[in-house]
């Protein structure tokens, strides 16, 4: 399936891009992160991240649909 | 205007404060978060804020709605800055008007505490010495 | 300028807020008490504040010193208005700057709570209907 | 002895003046208030008031000196 991924803050630095289109056999959020984290060398484990699909927070067991926008969110530091 | 906003330009504090005025508002509490010249013992000379804007706006609006439900307030406005900020610039501004001061203080504190904890915005500190770093505090 | 003042003219909020700016201040919390259009179910159309000025200034300065001793803050400014005030005018303004927001919120709340409880200033409410009355809340 | 008294808020209304010079045999704050309250018909008892002498809060047992400035303060309502 095809996904659009957005990267922010240190994940953007680690990925070397702010977004990318990926083609993957992963069909849930957790599997997709495992694949992406391995490829980019992300040091965060899922316990340290939140995840959003199509602009809304969701959980790691969320099933994905073709063309979903998926974002792994490192710990926030606004304010 | 939205109760929660993201601004790529300097926050217009005076205009925001005027939005809080209301004939029934006996109390107005405002919080300004500003860029300090130091953090955790290091000299800082600027910050960059990055936001996942779509989700940040939705989560910020949700926080304001929670504050309205919990506290007896008239108006709530919160704006967070993104982009490059110099020392002394306003990074986040939250203002609340209410009939009485207890609700105004409590709602203002609630909004800024929740915004800092939940809204997808990230801070990159630029130091007087050394490379800049993204802050991810919960991962410490 | 004194940390606590009594003003017979409209409070210059913008000038007071600028006094709070400091390179180490990451948080600024301001409280404004404004003249509401109602109180205890009665429609209000203005207030008169009277102060025992000499003692009010001394007691206000004492409260600011207490807040400085209790909380880790940079600057504290508080000004209370006296004379005749129209609806919406600022009756009292308190601003605190600090390194962190917890101290700024707590010190601001402390100062306004203590000012209201202890500083010899009295409010006369003018009602849309009926004679004006001095408020002496603790005597209720 | 001679005292200068200042009146504020409802005590000012009740006394009909904001200050007055009084000559009195009372030589402490409590006695002076009893005399003044009777003359002006003040409804407050000492428990409801604070007292200041020469610009500083004091207590009801404070001895007075000639020419002291004495102020009986009704409950405050600033803010």
Binned at pLDDT 50, 70 and 90, residue B24 comes out as confident
Please state the rounded mean pLDDT for residues C12-29: 93
Tokens of D20: 């007055």
User: pLDDT tens for residues B85-126?
Assistant: 999 999 999 999 999 999 999 999 999 999 999 999 999 999
Whether B95 is covered by a domain: the verdict is yes
List the helix and strand counts (H, then E) for chain C: 3, 9
Give C-chain residues touching B104 at CB under 8 angstroms. 31
pLDDT of residue C140: 41
Helix C101-118 / helix B101-118 crossing angle, nearest 10 deg: 180
User: Considering only CB atoms, which chain B residues are within 8 Å of A52?
Assistant: 52, 55, 120
Could you tell me what percent of chain B has a pLDDT over 70?
97
Calculate mean pLDDT across residues D27-43: 97
pLDDT tens for residues C21-69?
888 899 999 999 999 999 989 999 999 999 999 999 999 999 999 999 9
Q: How confident is the model at residue C91 (pLDDT cuts 50, 70, 90)?
A: very high
The answer to whether B52 contacts A71, with C-beta atoms less than 8 Å apart, is yes
Q: What pLDDT shows up at residue B140?
A: 41
Strands A19-23 vs A50-53: parallel, antiparallel or unpaired: unpaired
In this complex, the residue of A12, A44, A79 whose CB is nearest that of residue B139 is A44
Which of helix, strand or coil describes residue B108?
Answer: helix
Q: How far apart are CA C79 and CA C56, in angstroms?
A: 11
Compute the mean pLDDT over every residue in chain C, rounded to the nearest whole number.
95
pLDDT value at residue C43: 96
Determine, yes or no, domain membership for B16.
yes
| Residue pair B25/B97 in contact by the 8 Å Cβ criterion | yes
Q: How far apart are CA B20 and CA A13, in angstroms?
A: 39
Structural domains of chain D ordered from first start: 2-73 (3.10.20.30)
Residue C88 lies in a domain: yes
Note down the domain range covering C122.
Answer: 4-130
Q: Are D57 and C54 spatial neighbours (Cβ–Cβ below 8 Å)?
A: no
Distance of CA B83 to the CA centre of its chain: 14
Residue B86 tokens read as 């110099």
To the nearest whole Å, the CA of A4 is away from the closest chain B CA by: 14
Total domains present in chain B: 1
- Residues of A with Cβ-Cβ distance to B137 under 8 angstroms: 75, 77
The average pLDDT across A46-63 equals: 97
Q: Are strands B133-134 and B27-34 parallel, antiparallel or unpaired?
A: unpaired
Q: Please give the model's pTM, rounded to 2 decimal places.
A: 0.95
Residue D48 backbone class (left: φ over 0; alpha: ψ -120 to 50; beta: rest): alpha
- Examine residue C140 and state whether it is found in any structural domain, yes or no: no
Measured CA distances, C92 to B13, C62, C139, D59 (Å): 19, 17, 22, 28
% of chain A surpassing 90 pLDDT: 100
Q: For residue C2, name the pLDDT band (cuts at 50, 70, 90).
A: confident
Closest CA to D4 of D13, B3, C128, D17: D17
Check which CATH number belongs to the domain holding B112 and give it: 3.90.1170.40
Residue of A9, A12, A55 with shortest CB distance to B54: A55
Three-state secondary structure call for residue D45: coil
Q: pLDDT value at position B1?
A: 64
- Give the DSSP letter of residue C14: H
With contact defined as beta carbons under 8 Å apart, do B78 and B111 qualify? yes
**A10-44: pLDDT as tens digits:** 999 999 999 999 999 999 999 999 999 999 999 99
With tokens 């992160």, the residue in question is A33
Q: Which of C92, C120, C134 has the CB atom closest to D79's CB atom? A: C92
Would you say residue C100 has pLDDT above 70? yes
Q: Note whether residue B137 is domain-resident.
A: no
Look at residue B139 and tell me if it is in a domain: no
């Amino acid at each position: 399936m095809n996904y659009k991924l957005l990267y922010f803050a240190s994940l953007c630095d680690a990925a070397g891009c702010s977004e990318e289109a990926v083609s993957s056999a992963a069909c849930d959020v957790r599997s997709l992160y495992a694949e992406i984290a391995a490829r980019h060398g992300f040091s965060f484990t899922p316990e340290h991240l939140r995840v959003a699909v199509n602009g809304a927070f969701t959980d790691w067991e969320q099933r994905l649909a073709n063309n979903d926008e998926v974002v792994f969110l490192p710990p926030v530091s606004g304010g | 205007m939205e109760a929660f906003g993201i601004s790529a330009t300097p926050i217009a504090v005076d205009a925001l404060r005027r939005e809080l005025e209301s004939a029934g508002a006996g109390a107005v509490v405002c919080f300004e978060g500003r860029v300090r010249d130091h953090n955790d013992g290091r000299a800082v000379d600027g910050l960059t804020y990055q936001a996942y804007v779509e989700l940040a706006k939705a989560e910020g609006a949700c926080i304001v709605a929670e504050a309205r439900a919990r506290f007896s307030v008239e108006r709530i406005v919160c704006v967070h800055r993104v982009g490059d900020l110099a020392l002394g610039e306003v990074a986040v501004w939250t203002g609340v008007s209410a009939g009485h001061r207890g609700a105004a203080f409590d709602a203002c504190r609630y909004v800024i505490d929740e915004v800092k904890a939940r809204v997808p915005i990230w801070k990159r500190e630029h130091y007087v010495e050394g490379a800049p770093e993204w802050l991810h505090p919960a991962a410490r």
